[in-house]
Structure formats: structure tokens, C-alpha cells
Amino acid sequence: MTVYETDVPGVGKKYELERRGGERLVVLVHHDGKRELFRRPDDDSDSEKLLDVDGPNARKLGSILEGAYFQPVEADSPGVPLGESIIDWTTVEEESPLVGHTLRDVDLEERTGGTLVALQRGTHTMGNPDSDTRLEAGDVLVVVGSRNSQEAVADLVRP
């Protein structure tokens, strides 16, 4: 991952992290400790502000992201009970091409190799949802599958 670092005179320092597909995550660190987090979909787009946090909360968030609070298990570790499979949660965004389609239409297993084990809608969780279930924006797909399957699900859901 490439990280770009820029001095912002009178403000602080800006860090840009390249993500898949040309998207960038931008962190602006102010001299007073405030941090702002932005998302820039591509080089030609304006940044979209995601959140801002004060110094203490930024450090706590950084610790969480770094794994100080929870250490994820490596998928190839023999201690993982699902073997090469993992469980992942993918949110169906409002602009997703899947919104309004039934699970039968989507045919997630055939297209990704992952298995949909549950669908979360608000506070309700549907275990093994019916194939006539129509996807809505905000639904969370709970899928068991390999890392490649999880990436295929994310690609399928992505607007």
C-alpha cells in the first residue's frame, strides 16, 4: 500500500492511502490533534468527509485498527475452525446493483463461491434467507467462503 504524505501549511499533515480501484483514504492531522477522515473515489473526484475525531479518540481508533484490542486470526492458521473459509459481513449500499433483486436473481453462490448463511436487516437477522427475499439498501450479507469468495461478494455488491 502506498502512503502519500503532504505538509498542509497552517493546518498539519495529510496522509493519503491508495486503495483498490484507485480509491484513496485521506487522513488530515491538524496541529491541535484533531483528525479528519475523507474518502476520494478516484483522482478526479472531490474528497467526501467521513468523520472527524479528537486526538484521544483518534489514538484509540488507531489502536483498534492496528489490532491492539483484537488480533485477527490468519485464515491459513490451523486454529481457524472453518479451514480456509471465513465469515464476512458485506453491506448492500444504496447504489448497489443488487438492490431490488431477489436472492434467486443474484445467485450469489454460483457467482462467488460463497454461501449466504444469514441476512441482517436492521435489528432482524434472517438465517438461511429464502430465495424470494428481495435485497434492500442497508442489508448486510453474512457469507461463509474463502477470501477469494469474499472479495467476489464485495465486487458483486459494489456499486
Class of domain 80-157: alpha beta
What percent of the chain shows pLDDT beyond 90? 55
Residue with cell 463461491: 113
Cβ 21 vs Cβ 40: under 8 Å:
no
Confidence of residue 58 (pLDDT cuts 50, 70, 90): confident
Domain ranges of the chain: 2-66, 80-157
Checking if the pLDDT of 82 tops 70, the result is: no
Cβ 27 vs Cβ 52: under 8 Å:
no
Confidence of residue 81 (pLDDT cuts 50, 70, 90): low
The pLDDT of residue 132:
95
For residue 156, give the nearest of 93, 84, 75 by alpha carbon.
93
Q: Say how far apart CA 53 and CA 56 lie, in whole Å.
A: 8
Confidence of residue 84 (pLDDT cuts 50, 70, 90): confident
Q: Say how far apart CA 16 and CA 3 lie, in whole Å.
A: 5
What percent of the chain shows pLDDT beyond 70? 91
Average pLDDT in the chain:
87
SS3 57: helix
DSSP conformational letter for 142: E
Checking if the pLDDT of 125 tops 80, the result is: yes
Confidence of residue 65 (pLDDT cuts 50, 70, 90): confident
Average pLDDT of 90-98?
Answer: 93
pLDDT, tens only, 5-52? 999 998 999 999 988 888 899 999 998 889 999 999 988 888 899 999
